[in-house]
Amino acid sequence: MPRRAVPRIVANWKMRGSTAAIDALVDMDRRAVTLPVALAICPPATLIAAARARLAAIAIGAQDVHGAPDGPFTGAISAGLAAEAGATFTIIGHVESRARTHPTPADLAAQIRTALSAGLDVLLCVGDVADLLACLPADTAFRRLSIAYEPPWAIGGADAAPIATISAMHDALRTALATLWGDAADDVPILYGGAVDAGGAAAILAAPQVDGVLIGRASLPAATFAALVDAATVSAAPLPLTELPA
């Protein structure tokens, strides 16, 4: 999807959710085609198949994948297993995943290559330009890549980064991508992640160079997610999601 075709709202469930939480999204999924945004969820790995079976319009992603295609890595999930379960993309490099596994830039590059080889698109989380350039393979298929700017201090915090900071960093990331791919860098969506809620989503999405948001605790329950989607789309959608007729 070319950037700015529609904004993206990606909901990272983290270690939360259930089949009941997936079922609560069925109505939203049915109505998602009426919205001027693209919706995606990243449930725990054990719920990917159930989400794929129940949801059609909402994209399903993995929260992380290992850098090896298979092997003796107890507790890990490979890109191939995530794809087989029904994921079409994966997050790589989330702040919380990095804190747990301490990947090197080479590790993250391996995850990107393995995910793309398995048929998954990649949503790469970075904290700044140096982080991006350190872990992004120059031969990455840019049309299957999205970037999420995640200031580490905002993850799990009370406040998102200031709009001016978000726009400036997104502009810097876009410029860095252009050093790799020239004008083709304009096709890479850049999202913002970190303390995004219903009160701030619309302003963030309206900021220059912002192509979407990666949300965490506002992902659940379904009513909270719907409120954020409503807030982000109220100026463009004919009716808010919570008021659409059944």
Considering the entire predicted model, what is its pTM? 0.92
Question: 156 versus 145: which is more confidently predicted?
Answer: 145
Q: What confidence category does residue 211 fall into, taking pLDDT thresholds of 50, 70 and 90?
A: very high
Domain boundaries, given as residue ranges, for the chain = 8-243
The arithmetic mean of pLDDT across residues 88-116, rounded, is 97
Catalytic-residue membership of 170? no
The arithmetic mean of pLDDT across residues 108-134, rounded, is 97
Topology given in CATH for the domain delimited by 8-243: TIM Barrel (3.20.20)
Average pLDDT of the chain?
92
Please determine, for residue 237, whether its predicted confidence score (pLDDT) is greater than 80.
Answer: no
Say what the pLDDT of residue 234 is. 61
Say what the pLDDT of residue 246 is. 35
The arithmetic mean of pLDDT across residues 56-71, rounded, is 98
Question: 102 versus 137: which is more confidently predicted?
Answer: 102
Contact 151, 189 (CB under 8 A): no
Summarised one tens digit per residue, pLDDT across range 6-31 is 899 999 999 999 999 999 999 999 99
Of 66, 96, 150, 170, which is the active-site residue?
150
Whole-number percent of the chain with pLDDT over 90: 83
DSSP state string for 4-25 = TSS-EEEEE--S---HHHHHTT
Summarised one tens digit per residue, pLDDT across range 135-147 is 998 788 888 999 9
Catalytic-residue membership of 94? yes
Contact 37, 243 (CB under 8 A): no
Of 66, 94, 96, 170, which is the active-site residue?
94
